[in-house]
Amino acid sequence: MEFFDSEAAWLDFLRARAPFPDGFRAATAGLSFTPAERPSDQTYSMNLALITADPAVTSFAALFTRNRFPGAPVIIARERVKGDALAGILVNNRISNVCSPTGIGDAERLTRELARYTGGRSERYLSVSTGIIGWSLPLEPMVEQLPALVNGLGSADALDTARAIMTTDGFPKLRAASIGRARVVGVAKGAGMIEPNLATMLVFFFTDARIERRRLQRSLTSAVESSFNRISIDGDQSTSDMVLAMSSCLYDVDPAQFDSCLQQLAAELAQDIVRNGEGTCHVIRATLRGLRDERTAAVLAKGVINSPLVKTAVYGNDPNVGRIVAALGDIAGNQGIELDAHDVTITIGAEKVFGDGVFWLDKHKENRLCSYLRQAALDPSLRGYPQHDRTVDIDISCGSGSAATTVFGSDLSHEYVSENADYRT
């Protein structure tokens, strides 16, 4: 992954990748409103982003949250992606439109009005929302913006779009690649409520590579499994998670090359999300090896990176390796996963800290581990762009099985608590 010393160099890098693939256009807009559910008259701002395909594309793919209380956008999109074509996505930040008394109707009205201005069919548009759960969309101010958005199509690139859909994200998330004449561009948002089986987030891929619809779905499912399903900020899967891919199918590509390109972009966006996690001061990369199957490896690895005690110790640059062992034993014991302490070897960075059933610790090693954690911390005064590329590497070998997986997580910091203790103000 690319990192830069200056913000300007980084933005140059992103801008060079920001044009949409052929067949797609976008526009963004802003508005302000006063929520009906909030005691004060405080004004909130909201961004809208509209991305359209002209003509509507017949190759597209989607994955949705497993949360049992999905937002109206997810409920509607699940139906509409069964249709024959997709013409565009309207995304708003700030309010997620979940279980609102008027939620389904609001989302339907937005796409109906949108279709009126584009001359398209409303069931070919998706209304996508992210932000506070529980409030209703400020519908009239949103509808008012639609004519300007449609007239402005083509004025926004993927970087503008990535910026518009941010909530608590610290930086826009955009990754792109070329395959011959074809391009693949991905934008994402997500910083909290990030876990499992579709990290909590919105991700949109746009491509002009000719990939047939069912193949695109297979490729997307596989790319998500090894990327967004392997990160966790706080173990919470939101009501609004969605990963969407749309292809205008203009340029021939090798499908296998497309698969690996999508996989690479998904992995990069997933890492961008973790690095940008709410209050993330250390990025933790845990690799579990030697298991019989990858699913078990992922369960154990997520158990370790989601342990509040492991996360706070890493935050404090305290190599409290006992908590890693405790977390591993906890998840194994309580999920019924067989694991013998004598088969387990744990290294942090280059230091072996556990093997043959016992801790391998001494005061010199402890000193080196403290330094290792300290140098892996994000230092706002030193960091590059989008952020530094350091990780706290925890490698856990559990036996002689052939399955392995790597997951990315974050520490648990004062910044996380502050950001989430009063997110809505």
The interface with its own copies within residues 380-409 (CB under 8 A) comprises none
Q: Which of 66, 181 has the CB closer to its own copies?
A: 66
Q: How far is the CB of 397 from its own copies (least distance, A)?
A: 15
Contact assessment for residue 341 and residue 329, using Cβ atoms and an 8 Å cutoff: yes
What residues numbered 290-309 form the site for its own copies, per CB under 8 A? 306-309
Active site residue 200: yes
- # chain residues binding its own copies, by CB under 8 A: 79
Q: Which contacts qualify for 351-358: CB closer than 8 Å, 24 or more apart?
A: 353/319, 353/321, 353/324, 354/321, 354/324, 354/325
Candidate segments 100-108, 141-149, 223-231, 384-392, binder of its own copies by CB under 8 A: 100-108
Residues in region 326-355 near its own copies by CB under 8 A: 326-330, 332-334, 337, 339, 341, 344, 354
* Of residues 97 and 227, the one with the C-beta less far from its own copies: 97
Closest distance to its own copies from the beta carbon of 223 (Å): 20
363 is a site residue for its own copies (CB under 8 A):
yes
In 3D, which of 41, 243, 49, 37 has the Cα closest to residue 137? Answer: 37
* Residue 420 is a binding residue for its own copies (CB under 8 A): yes
Which of 298, 313, 394, 407: binder of its own copies (CB under 8 A)?
A: 313
Strand order in the sheet with 44-57: 24-33, 44-57, 86-92, 125-129
Longest dimension (CA), the chain: 71
The answer to whether 144 touches 114, Cβ cutoff 8 Å, is: no
- Indicate which residue of 28, 111, 130, 200 is catalytic: 200
The nearest distance, CB 97 to its own copies, in angstroms, is 11
CA distances from 405 to 5, 68, 226, 331 (A): 31, 27, 9, 16
Shortest approach of its own copies to residue 310 CB, angstroms? Answer: 9
196 binding its own copies? (CB under 8 A): yes
Q: Which is nearer to its own copies, 36 or 382 (CB)?
A: 36
Q: Alpha-carbon distance 9 to 331, whole Å?
A: 43
Is 143 near its own copies (CB under 8 A)? no
Q: How many whole angstroms from its chain centre is CA 199? A: 6
Based on the shown chain and the rule CB under 8 A, indicate whether residue 56 belongs to the binding site for its own copies.
no
The answer to whether residue 99 forms part of the interface with its own copies (CB under 8 A) is yes
32-40, 183-191, 219-227, 378-386 -> range binding its own copies (CB under 8 A): 32-40
Return d(Cα 140, Cα 124) in angstroms, integer.
22
Binding to its own copies, residues 257-286 (CB under 8 A) = none
As annotated, the active-site residues are 200
